[in-house]
Amino acid sequence: MHFIYPSFLFALLTLAIPVIIHLFNFRKFQKVNFSNVQFLKEIQEQQSSRRNLKERLILASRLLALFFLILAFARPYLPGQNYTGAGRQNVVSVFVDNSYSMETLNREGSLLDDAKQKAKEIASAYNINDRFQLLTQDFEGKHQRLLSRDEFDDAVDQVKISAQSRNLQQIISRQQNLLLTQPGSIKSIYVISDLQKNMAGKPLKGDSSVAINLIQLKAAALSNVAVDSVWLLSAVHRLGENEKLVVRLHNYSTQKADKIPLKVIINGAQKALGSYSIPAGAVQNDTLAFMGLQAGWQQGKVELQDNPVTFDNQFYFSFNVSNQMPVLLIDGGIPNTYLKAVFASDPFFSAQRVPDGNVDYTGLNSMPIVIISDVKAISAGLAQQLKTYVVKGGTLMVFPAADADLANYHSFLQPMGTSWPEKLVSESIKVSAINKQSPVFKNVFESFPENPDLPVVKKYYQLSPSSSAQDNLMKLTGGQIFWAGYTSGRGKVYVASVPLNEDFSNLPRHALFVPVMFRIALLSGHDLPLFYTLGQDETLEIPPVQLTEKQLLKLVKGDQSTIPDVRQQEGSTILYLSDQLRESGIYTLKKQDSTLAMLAFNDNRTESDMSYLNKGELTKLMPKSTALLTGTNASLKGIVAETNFGTQLWKLCIILALIFLAAEILLIRYFKPAKQSIKQPV
Is residue 272 helix, strand or coil?
strand
Q: 62-74 burial, b for 16+ CB within 10 Å, e for fewer?
A: bbbbbbbbbbbbb
The full DSSP string for 280-323 is TT-EEEEEEEE--PPSEEEEEEEEE---S--TTSEEEEEEEEBS
Do 414 and 560 reside in the same domain of the chain?
no
Distances (CA, A) of 449 to 16, 155, 440, 454: 116, 73, 18, 11
Domain boundary among 287, 321, 355: 321
What is the spatial distance between Cα 331 and Cα 356, in angstroms, rounded to a whole number? 6
Do 593 and 472 reside in the same domain of the chain?
no
Total domains in the fold of the chain: 5
Residue 472's pLDDT is: 87
What is the spatial distance between Cα 247 and Cα 236, in angstroms, rounded to a whole number? 18
Do 415 and 480 reside in the same domain of the chain?
yes
Q: Residue 15: what are its φ and ψ, rounded to 5°?
A: -65, -15
Residue 441 falls inside a structural domain: yes
- DSSP class of 24: S
- What is the CB neighbour count within 10 angstroms for residue 565? 12
Cis check for the bond before 308: say yes or no (omega within 30 of 0): yes
Do 58 and 175 reside in the same domain of the chain?
no
Domain boundary among 304, 321, 338: 321
Residue 70's pLDDT is: 87
What is the spatial distance between Cα 417 and Cα 487, in angstroms, rounded to a whole number? 8
Q: Find the CATH number of the domain harbouring 307.
A: 2.60.40.10
What is the spatial distance between Cα 644 and Cα 80, in angstroms, rounded to a whole number? 6
Do 296 and 330 reside in the same domain of the chain?
no
Residue 680 falls inside a structural domain: no
Enumerate the β-bridge partners of residue 299.
318
Q: Residue 644: what are its φ and ψ, rounded to 5°?
A: -95, -40
- What is the CB neighbour count within 10 angstroms for residue 23? 9
What is the spatial distance between Cα 184 and Cα 507, in angstroms, rounded to a whole number? 80
User: Using an 8 Å Cβ cutoff, are 470 and 480 in contact?
Assistant: no
What is the spatial distance between Cα 507 and Cα 516, in angstroms, rounded to a whole number? 11
Do 294 and 237 reside in the same domain of the chain?
yes
Residue 676 falls inside a structural domain: no
Do 437 and 361 reside in the same domain of the chain?
yes
Q: Find the CATH number of the domain harbouring 565.
A: 2.60.40
Do 315 and 329 reside in the same domain of the chain?
no
Q: Find the CATH number of the domain harbouring 365.
A: 3.40.50.880
Residue 297's pLDDT is: 92
Question: What is the amino acid identity at position 346?
Answer: D
Do 330 and 284 reside in the same domain of the chain?
no
Residue 132 falls inside a structural domain: yes
By C-alpha distance, which of 490, 477, 600, 593 is closest to 537? 600
Residue pLDDT, tens place only, 539-595: 888 887 888 878 889 999 988 899 999 988 766 789 998 778 888 999 999 998 889
Residue 390 falls inside a structural domain: yes
The full DSSP string for 630-659 is --SSS-HHHHHHHHHH-EE-HHHHHHHHHH
Q: Residue 69: what are its φ and ψ, rounded to 5°?
A: -65, -40
What is the extent of the structural domain holding 274?
Answer: 225-321
Phi-psi region of 448 (alpha: psi -120 to 50; beta: other; left: phi over 0): beta
- DSSP class of 465: P
Enumerate the β-bridge partners of residue 211.
188
- DSSP class of 408: H
User: Using an 8 Å Cβ cutoff, are 143 and 159 in contact?
Assistant: no
Residue 107's pLDDT is: 73
Binned average pLDDT, 10 residues per bin, the chain of 682 residues: 78 82 63 61 58 80 88 77 63 92 80 91 88 91 90 93 87 91 89 88 80 86 87 82 90 88 92 90 91 89 87 91 90 92 90 91 86 93 92 91 93 92 91 87 71 89 81 88 90 93 92 90 80 85 82 90 86 83 90 90 87 86 78 66 70 89 85 56 48
User: Using an 8 Å Cβ cutoff, are 414 and 463 in contact?
Assistant: no
Do 396 and 424 reside in the same domain of the chain?
yes
Do 353 and 215 reside in the same domain of the chain?
no
Residue 675 falls inside a structural domain: no
By C-alpha distance, which of 163, 170, 153, 147 is closest to 116? 153
Residue 674 falls inside a structural domain: no
Question: What is the amino acid identity at position 274?
Answer: G
Tell me the pTM: 0.71
User: Using an 8 Å Cβ cutoff, are 617 and 626 in contact?
Assistant: no
By C-alpha distance, which of 353, 229, 351, 357 is closest to 302? 229
Residue 444's pLDDT is: 67
Residue pLDDT, tens place only, 238-275: 888 888 999 999 998 888 888 889 999 999 999 999 89
State the distance between the two ends of the chain, measured CA to CA, in whole angstroms: 68
Residue 425's pLDDT is: 92
Domain boundary among 321, 349, 378: 321
Do 214 and 229 reside in the same domain of the chain?
no
